[in-house]
Amino acid sequence: MSKSIFIDTSRCTACRACQVACKQWKGFEAVPTKQTGTHQNPPDFTPQNNKLVRFSEHKIDGRIHWLFFPDQCRHCLQPGCKMASDPYVDEAIVIDEATGIVVCTEKCKDLTEEQCQEIIDSCPYNVPRRNPETGMLSKCNMCIDRVHAGLEPMCVKTCCTGTMSFGERDDMIRLAEERLEKVKKEHPKAELLDVEDLSVIFLVTQPRAMYHDYACRQPRPLDRGEFLASLVRPFRHIIG
């Protein structure tokens, strides 16, 4: 059985406790940021921020609404990041057999900066970030250390509004579908995002594009050079 996180954004108050808890658990240091006219801070994922509560402001039915999206790696069932890294460095990114969690390993340090960029570009949700000081790729690992110890991920444990739930994938899908049915009564446009392909399941109340650019999958069309490179890539590790 694989593990999943269900994130019901209809309950999120954007308190950012999950964001802080993630940083604390992972031992990430504070990074100076600037006020850019939004409460979203930092403005984007960094190597020191694997969880980021995104804010977006919209006028809906004549009233201003803030939409909140506690963003993180979706732990794809077929992760583009792993597919892109495998030809370069075997096991730089792995899928944990017991849980389905997608993990960046220390072997990521053997990837070049260019290869890391290719891996970042291959993520449909624009999640991983490279730490230029260590060469490591950084992203949510679903707190695999806690999960293997029988604990919930730190962000789930910290959220006190019921936005985040953790458990077996089948149970989380069931919970998500039940919540969707209820939420739809107030928000008819509510939906679950790419639930069939992901282990982190988001429920949103408004059309997904209103949350942020990568709230939905972004298949990036390859230009000609990238297309040719993609044909050669599987053989690179053979020919060296």
Q: Which residues bind ligand SF4 (CB under 6 A)?
A: 12-18, 21-22, 25, 50-51, 53, 70, 72-76, 79-81, 102, 123, 125, 127-128, 139-143, 153-155, 158-159, 161, 163-164
DSSP-assigned states of every residue in 59-112: EETTEEEEEEEEE----BSS-HHHHHHTTTSTTSEEE-TTT--EEE-GGGGGS-
Nearest CB to ligand SF4, comparing residues 26 and 184: 26
Candidates 159, 169, 163, 232; CA nearest to 200 is: 169
Nearest CB to ligand SF4, comparing residues 14 and 67: 14
Residue pair 166/3 in contact (Cβ under 8 Å)? The answer is yes
Min CB(111)–ligand SF4 separation in Å: 14
Min CB(215)–ligand SF4 separation in Å: 12
Nearest CB to ligand SF4, comparing residues 93 and 180: 93
Q: Which residues contact 141 (CB under 8 A, 6 or more apart)?
A: 50, 73, 101, 102, 103, 104
Nearest CB to ligand SF4, comparing residues 102 and 172: 102
Min CB(199)–ligand SF4 separation in Å: 8
Nearest CB to ligand SF4, comparing residues 83 and 173: 83
Q: Give CA–CA dist 107/128, Å, rounded.
A: 15
Min CB(79)–ligand SF4 separation in Å: 4
Q: Which two tokens stand for residue 58?
A: 């919209």
Min CB(119)–ligand SF4 separation in Å: 8
Helix, strand, coil share (%) of the chain residues, nearest 5: 35, 20, 45
Nearest CB to ligand SF4, comparing residues 61 and 104: 104
Task: Write the burial class of residue 70 (CB in 10 Å: 0-12 exposed, 13-18 middle, 19+ buried).
Answer: buried
